[in-house]
Amino acid sequence: MEQVSPTRMNLLTKKAQIGLATQGVDLLKKKRDALVKEFFSVVGQLLDGRDKLNQIVQEAYTSLLLAKAVEGDYVVDSVSLNTKQLMYIEMTEKSVWGVKVPDIKKVSSLSRSVLDRGYGIVGVSPRIDRTAELFENIFDVILSVAAVEIHLKRLGTEIKKTTRRVNALEQNLVPKLKLQVRYIKNTLEERAREDTFRLKRIKQNNT
Q: What is the pLDDT of residue 31?
A: 92
Question: Please, what is the angle between helix 174-205 and helix 8-71, to 10°?
Answer: 170
In a domain, 204, yes or no: no
Q: What is the pLDDT of residue 93?
A: 79
136-187 tens-digit pLDDT: 788 888 888 888 898 899 999 999 999 999 999 999 999 999 999 999 999 9
Q: What is the pLDDT of residue 166?
A: 95
Q: What is the pLDDT of residue 181?
A: 93
What CATH number should be reported for the domain holding residue 45?
A: 1.10.287.3240
58-93 tens-digit pLDDT: 999 898 888 888 878 877 777 766 666 666 677 777
163: containing domain: 9-196
What is d(CA 149, CA 182) in angstroms, rounded to the nearest whole number?
Answer: 48
Dihedral sign from CA coordinates of 101, 103, 109, 111: positive
In a domain, 3, yes or no: no
110: confidence class by pLDDT, cuts 50, 70, 90: low
What is d(CA 131, CA 138) in angstroms, rounded to the nearest whole number?
Answer: 11
In a domain, 127, yes or no: yes
In a domain, 114, yes or no: yes
Query: How many domains does one find in the chain?
Result: 1
Contact 159, 99 (CB under 8 A): no
Question: 52 or 97, which is more confident?
Answer: 52
In a domain, 80, yes or no: yes
Q: 98: closest CA among 30, 46, 166, 52?
A: 30
46-56 tens-digit pLDDT: 999 999 999 99
In a domain, 1, yes or no: no
In a domain, 106, yes or no: yes
In a domain, 168, yes or no: yes
